[in-house]
Structure 1
Amino acid sequence: MIEKSHTYRKQLFDLALPAMAENILQILMGITDSYLVAQLGLLAISGVSVANNIITVYQAIFIALGSAVSSLVAKYFGQHDHKKELQLQADSLVLTLLVSLVLGILSIFCGRFFLSALGTTKEVTQLGGLYLALVGGGIFSLGLLTSLGAIHRAQGRPRLPMYVSVLTNVLNAVLSALSITVFDFGLVGIALSTVFSRLVGVLILASMLDFWSILKHVRLSISKNLVTMALPIAGERLMMRVGDVAIVAIIVSFGVKVVAGNAIGETITQFNYMPGMGMATAVLILVAQAFGERDYEAIHTILKKAYGYSVVMMFLVGGSVYFLSSYLLPFFTNDPTAQEASRVVMLSSFLGGPATAGTLIFTALWQGLGKPKFPFYATTIGMWGIRIFLGYFLGVLLGLGLAGVWLATIADNLFRWAILSWRYHVYKKR
């Protein structure tokens, strides 16, 4: 029993740590990209910032597809059904390219319309539209990078996508810097550097698979299982994105300084969630494998251990961030109002850690079991029925301000954690 427990712990951390490293790297490289774009002026910063809001939606779609791919590949991997596994890989790449084609066309031909609809000025729309046309037009590179990475993780090679992520991000930073400082390519150089770097990563990940066997399984139709898995996961992520926009609209009513402080706090507390997100990636894959093997006891053990590890690590990171706030915040702002707002975010993130971990782990559990609709329903109800409604009630009507909005956020995570775990216990008895 002790040996099995050690095995589960090793499997969880072997999958979670590379995923955490990838997420942290993405954040750091995002900061680097922002610095490089800043060298081109405020208009460029504004244009790229707004364009990236749209690209973030694209990324959410591909991450959802990657989660579906990980779950199904891991399931067939656990069943030792190599034929179904190859067919699923082929279908996932075809679906990725089809989605990329639609998003790419929209980016090239409708990008400026999207940006102007968001209220940007003519100059910002022009620069942002150019960036969106180039990066969004080549969005298939991000899609394939995500799907191929998901396949490798599900097959027990979680470090490979991490190493490729390191390479692509460093390559992107170097090429972007050269584009500005040496070749004077400006915004076009930064955009093309992003697409090219991702393509290098795609080629590496593809070369590490039995790619010719996958190509032989390419067909016009797409696996129904893949589509029915991907749609609810995408819906759940998009529901969060749209809900976040509504939350920001509430926070805007508290004033510019509070908005800035909330943004700073959210930027810093991104690191709080990395352990839970990494463990959630591991849970999805390991639960899918165990489900494919019909090992239900393993599923329960994996769930308990992953939640426990997530809470401890998130508590340590969140506590460190909050108690070091006096040293961290001056790097971003010296305004007392903005700093106070940032501390509210940090404290809320720290205190809400157990509920956030529960939501992340149990969402991954249901996706690993091949039942992603339930997390979608829970997120929809939690976001719109609790977080937004209660946030407005507490923050605006009762005058609690930003603290009210974050209390509602904790309440939302508590609700989703409770409903997802209760449903699992009912499911387990069956």
Structure 2
Amino acid sequence: MSIHKPQLPGNPNTGNKIKSIIILAIPAVIENFFQTTLGFVDTYFVSKIGLVEVSAVGISNALLAIYFAIFMSLGVAVNVFIANFLGANQQKKAQHIAQQAIMMAIFLGILFGFVTLFFAEPLLRLMGIAPNVLEAGAIYFRIVAIPSVLMSLMFVFSSILRGSGDTKSPMIISIVINIVHALLDYVLIFGFAFIPSLGIVGAAWATVIARFLGAIGLYLYIRKSKSVSFVKEYWKIDWRHQWELITLGSPAAGERLIMRAGQIVYFGFIVALGTNTFAAHQIAGNIEIFSYMIGYGFATAATILVGKQVGAQKFDEAKHYAKLCTYLSAVFMTAIGVILFFFGGWAGTFFTTDSKVIDEIKIALQISGIFQPFLAIVLVLTGAFQGANNTKFPMYLTAIGMWVIRTLFVYLLGIRLGWGLMGVWIGIGLDIILKAVILWIKFRRGNWILTKVSPKEDPESKCHPQTARENMSCCPNNY
């Protein structure tokens, strides 16, 4: 059987490397754009109902971000393992780890669904929100989060495809489901023909339906993949691989959970500034997040390319790809920063006519525009470190940045000094700048690559699952 390998040059010049990066990054950027649009469309349509509903969706999404942290960490782990294994020409191992990740995703999705069913209100109360916001938030949160298995499967399916070097298929699915989502949002929120107006409930159901379609579409693409298509014998739980996924993914989960826990704390500070200020923060965040699509796109390329080069033991190539991804992302995100600085206030007028809220949105996005180059460094180097099996360092750095810098300065500047939303966003910017500087120093020192996969003989030749039981000496991992 021939093994499909993504077309990555072995020792290309810089021009060819840039081309490889762009080929992987552009579909990821487009995918991120349409994924971001899902939240943007929700916020836009819900803002037409009222600021209470905007706050309800925003606070619900802040809690959902904790769920995402767990699902994304599993996605990071399987992405890295698949990239490493394929870089080392170990296709069967890539297929096996992919299917193990899917089984874990199903378990985690069902688990978080039950958590939502029984603890929706207590979780939302942690945010210290007003009773009218709590009522709307609980309705929205339950509808979108009880079927959490759809979210977990989408994260893992997308990561499997990206790890194999396929960033186009997740992009296509993202485009399709976001078009469907936008249409459903309008119809279900405001009503159309015989369909009644459902308000915030309609926004929630539009999101669930879109995720269901996305999970089905990604599954079908994996079934057609030459690199990671399913093997019947691998649908059996392998506890060793489950532990490997947990070991590599846990620091990534820890990083995101630390970030989300800190967000809950400083979101509470922002809520204390008033419902309108929190709404301004949410709207500014939904506008600014479009800048993240560039950084996440190049971070995806960095994870894939670094992961494959590390799997092939080509460490100098891995470092060069990481540096190029960082430079390219910084250039593009600086341009986005200029746009945010000069046009952020104008973008806010699409969400609200309240002049005070618009002014706060403008100030927040001007501050955001200034730290965009630093954000590029943080996003891309985090992706590169993950591709090199180094998920712990970004976790430690996030913990320091979130609790020593961000939360502290959000409180001091936003609350104690009375700078309001401006102080909040300055605190966020200081955290990002610190992390960018430390990541860059670590990267330049060159001790950030951790290798866990060595290029051994492809297990396909001697360790096919049908013969694994007969030859355990060459198949310690039951391949």
Q: How does 1:279-318 map to 2 (within 5 A)?
A: 279-318=298-337
Question: How many Å apart are 1:315 and its aligned residue?
Answer: 1.1
TM-score under structure 1 length normalisation: 0.88
The answer for the alignment partner of 1:94 in structure 2 is 103
The answer for the alignment partner of 2:402 in structure 1 is 383
Match of 2:390 among 371, 387, 399: 371
Distance in 1 (CA, whole Å) between partners of 2:112 and 2:342 is 43
TM-score under structure 2 length normalisation: 0.80
Question: How many Å apart are 1:101 and its aligned residue?
Answer: 1.3
SS class of match (2:390):
coil
Is 2:365 aligned against 1:362? Answer: no
Is 2:273 aligned against 1:275? Answer: no
The answer for the alignment partner of 1:66 in structure 2 is 75
The answer on whether the counterparts of 2:109 and 2:149 sit within 8 Å (CA) in structure 1 is yes
Distance in 1 (CA, whole Å) between partners of 2:264 and 2:315 is 39
Check 1:133–1:380 CA distance in 2 against 1; reply closer, same or farther (3 A cut): same
- Compare 373-382 and 56-65 and name the one that shifted more: 56-65
Is 2:155 aligned against 1:142? Answer: no
Is 2:196 aligned against 1:184? Answer: yes
- Compare 295-304 and 38-47 and name the one that shifted more: 38-47
Match of 2:60 among 44, 47, 51: 51
The answer for the alignment partner of 1:422 in structure 2 is 441
- Compare 36-45 and 284-293 and name the one that shifted more: 36-45
The answer for the alignment partner of 1:166 in structure 2 is 175
Q: Which runs of 5+ in 2 are unaligned?
A: 1-8, 450-479
**Which amino acid letter does the alignment assign opposite residue 349 of structure 1?**
S
Q: How does 1:16-415 map to 2 (within 5 A)?
A: 16-36=25-45, 48-115=57-124, 118=127, 128-179=137-188, 180-181=191-192, 182-184=194-196, 186=198, 191-210=204-223, 213-220=230-237, 221=239, 222-252=241-271, 258-325=277-344, 327-333=346-352, 337-397=356-416, 400-415=419-434
Check 1:88–1:252 CA distance in 2 against 1; reply closer, same or farther (3 A cut): same
1:211-266 deviation per Cα after TM superposition (whole angstroms, max 9, x unaligned): 87344212332432211111111111121122223333344555666545444433
Check 1:264–1:214 CA distance in 2 against 1; reply closer, same or farther (3 A cut): same
The answer on whether the counterparts of 1:108 and 1:132 sit within 8 Å (CA) in structure 2 is no
**Which amino acid letter does the alignment assign opposite residue 64 of structure 2?**
I
- Compare 198-207 and 100-109 and name the one that shifted more: 198-207
The answer on whether the counterparts of 1:73 and 1:88 sit within 8 Å (CA) in structure 2 is yes
- Compare 320-329 and 185-194 and name the one that shifted more: 185-194
- Compare 359-368 and 3-12 and name the one that shifted more: 3-12
Check 1:375–1:326 CA distance in 2 against 1; reply closer, same or farther (3 A cut): closer
The answer on whether the counterparts of 1:378 and 1:416 sit within 8 Å (CA) in structure 2 is yes
Distance in 2 (CA, whole Å) between partners of 1:382 and 1:339 is 29
SS class of match (2:166):
coil
**Which amino acid letter does the alignment assign opposite residue 158 of structure 1?**
T
- Compare 43-52 and 293-302 and name the one that shifted more: 43-52
Check 1:205–1:397 CA distance in 2 against 1; reply closer, same or farther (3 A cut): closer
**Which amino acid letter does the alignment assign opposite residue 399 of structure 2?**
T
**Which amino acid letter does the alignment assign opposite residue 68 of structure 1?**
A
Check 1:109–1:28 CA distance in 2 against 1; reply closer, same or farther (3 A cut): same
Equivalenced residue count is 430
Distance in 2 (CA, whole Å) between partners of 1:413 and 1:124 is 30
The answer on whether the counterparts of 1:272 and 1:349 sit within 8 Å (CA) in structure 2 is no
Q: State the percentage of identical aligned residues.
A: 29
Question: How many Å apart are 1:33 and its aligned residue?
Answer: 3.0
SS class of match (2:142):
helix
**Which amino acid letter does the alignment assign opposite residue 23 of structure 1?**
N
SS class of match (2:222):
coil
The answer on whether the counterparts of 2:344 and 2:366 sit within 8 Å (CA) in structure 1 is no
Distance in 2 (CA, whole Å) between partners of 1:189 and 1:333 is 20
Question: How many Å apart are 1:68 and its aligned residue?
Answer: 1.8
- Compare 389-398 and 214-223 and name the one that shifted more: 389-398
1:59-86 deviation per Cα after TM superposition (whole angstroms, max 9, x unaligned): 2322222122211111111111012111
- Compare 219-228 and 308-317 and name the one that shifted more: 219-228
SS class of match (2:389):
coil
Check 1:75–1:130 CA distance in 2 against 1; reply closer, same or farther (3 A cut): same
The answer on whether the counterparts of 1:269 and 1:318 sit within 8 Å (CA) in structure 2 is no
Question: How many Å apart are 1:14 and its aligned residue?
Answer: 1.8
1:88-114 deviation per Cα after TM superposition (whole angstroms, max 9, x unaligned): 101110110111111011122322443
Check 1:310–1:132 CA distance in 2 against 1; reply closer, same or farther (3 A cut): same
Question: How many Å apart are 1:372 and its aligned residue?
Answer: 0.4
- Compare 18-27 and 374-383 and name the one that shifted more: 18-27
- Compare 31-40 and 415-424 and name the one that shifted more: 31-40
SS class of match (2:165):
coil
1:164-189 deviation per Cα after TM superposition (whole angstroms, max 9, x unaligned): 11112222333454443233383666
Check 1:421–1:203 CA distance in 2 against 1; reply closer, same or farther (3 A cut): same
Distance in 1 (CA, whole Å) between partners of 2:142 and 2:277 is 33
1:371-427 deviation per Cα after TM superposition (whole angstroms, max 9, x unaligned): 101100011011111122234344445555544443333332222222223233334
Question: How many Å apart are 1:354 and its aligned residue?
Answer: 2.2
- Compare 342-351 and 184-193 and name the one that shifted more: 184-193
Check 1:197–1:397 CA distance in 2 against 1; reply closer, same or farther (3 A cut): closer
The answer on whether the counterparts of 1:76 and 1:292 sit within 8 Å (CA) in structure 2 is yes
Distance in 2 (CA, whole Å) between partners of 1:378 and 1:395 is 23
Distance in 2 (CA, whole Å) between partners of 1:336 and 1:132 is 30
Q: Which runs of 5+ in 1 are unaligned?
A: none
The answer on whether the counterparts of 2:38 and 2:178 sit within 8 Å (CA) in structure 1 is yes
